[in-house]
Amino acid sequence: MQVLCWPPTAYNLITTVWKCSTITSDIKLRLYSPIVVPTGIYASKTWKTTNKINKMIDVFHRRCLRSIWGISWCDHITNDEVTARTGQAALHDTVATRRRRFVGHILRLPTTRPANLAIIWRPEGGRRRVGRPKRTWQERKIWTHGVLIGLMREILPTTVPDGDNSSPNVLIRTAGTKSK
**Residue 24 identity:** T
pLDDT in tens, 114-168: 888 887 777 777 776 788 777 666 666 555 555 555 555 566 555 444 554 444 4
Residue with the bigger pLDDT between 33 and 153: it is: 33
Q: Which of 93, 89, 68 is nearest to 80 (CA)?
A: 89
How much is the pLDDT for 168?
Answer: 47
How much is the pLDDT for 51?
Answer: 92
C-alpha 62/C-alpha 86 separation (Å) is 10
Is the pLDDT assigned to residue 41 strictly greater than 50? yes
C-alpha 149/C-alpha 152 separation (Å) is 5
Residue 74 buriedness (CB in 10 A; 0-12 / 13-18 / 19+):
exposed
Q: Which of 24, 28, 27 is nearest to 15 (CA)?
A: 28
pLDDT > 90 in the chain, percent: 7
**Does the pTM of the predicted model rise above 0.95?**
no
Count of beta carbons in the 10 Å neighbourhood of residue 117: 13
Residues whose CB is less than 8 angstroms from the CB of residue 94 and which lie 6 or more positions away in sequence, other chains included: 37, 41
